[in-house]
């Protein structure tokens, strides 16, 4: 019965990659002292009675390394967009000039850099936990297959495959964290 057991490694890989993609998304929202259009992606504007992503009410540009501009398409939404940016927790004061909102990115001080580095480490730890949860799920499938008659050799082979996959993903997360922390600490 269990002789033809085949663990879906591709599914485990896809789920672990999902954790890595979520980590990259979270890293892109961390302010590193350089302007990035991704930093305003989480901002939601109350437009026409619905919460709308800011990039759907205006064009987001990065004209200089320390400036993000948002050209709001509808004049009536400029105030709502400015309010959404102020309330978003980005820590940036928007400057309104007609339908253009400028976001000057201030230089990060050493204390703020350390804080952001800790936040990045927490994001990475959450990604590691997600990868380990996928690993546990794969191992549970193997335990069930072993109980159903899988041979000891097959069990060991598949367990080693799952562990190798986990080790690769954790190493990729660690490398991404190291890179992000270096970027944050760069003056």
pLDDT of residue 13: 92
Whole-model pTM: value is 0.68
Residue 55 DSSP symbol: G
- Residues 173 and 177: their CA atoms lie apart, in Å, by 6
- Residues 4 and 162: their CA atoms lie apart, in Å, by 18
β-partners of residue 52 are: 45
What integer is the mean pLDDT of 119-136?
93
35 neighbors 68 (Cβ within 8 angstroms): yes
pLDDT digit string, tens, across residues 50-99: 999 988 999 999 998 889 999 999 999 999 999 998 887 777 889 999 99
Intervals of CATH 1.10.132.20 along the chain: 9-28+109-185
5 neighbors 17 (Cβ within 8 angstroms): no
Intervals of CATH 3.30.1360.40 along the chain: 37-104
Phi, psi angle pair for 18, to nearest 5°: -60, -40
What homologous superfamily does CATH list for 9-28+109-185? Ribosome-recycling factor (1.10.132.20)
Fold assignment, 37-104: Gyrase A; domain 2 (3.30.1360)
């Amino acid at each position: 019965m269990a002789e033809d057991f085949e663990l879906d490694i591709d599914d485990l890989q896809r789920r672990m990659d999902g954790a890595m993609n979520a980590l990259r998304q979270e890293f892109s929202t961390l302010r590193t002292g350089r302007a990035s259009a991704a930093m305003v992606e989480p901002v939601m504007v109350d437009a026409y009675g619905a919460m709308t992503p800011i990039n759907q009410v205006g064009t987001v540009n990065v004209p200089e390394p320390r400036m993000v501009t948002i050209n709001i398409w509808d004049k009536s939404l400029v105030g709502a967009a400015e309010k959404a940016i102020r309330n978003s927790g980005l820590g940036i004061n928007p400057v309104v000039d007609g339908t253009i909102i400028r976001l000057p990115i201030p230089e990060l001080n050493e204390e703020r850099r350390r804080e952001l580095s800790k936040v990045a480490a927490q994001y990475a730890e959450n990604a590691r936990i997600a990868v380990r949860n996928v690993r546990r799920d794969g191992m549970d499938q193997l335990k069930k297959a072993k109980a159903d008659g899988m041979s000891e050799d097959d069990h060991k082979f598949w367990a080693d495959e799952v562990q190798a996959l986990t080790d690769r993903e954790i190493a990729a997360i660690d490398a991404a964290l190291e890179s992000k922390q270096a970027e944050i600490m760069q003056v």
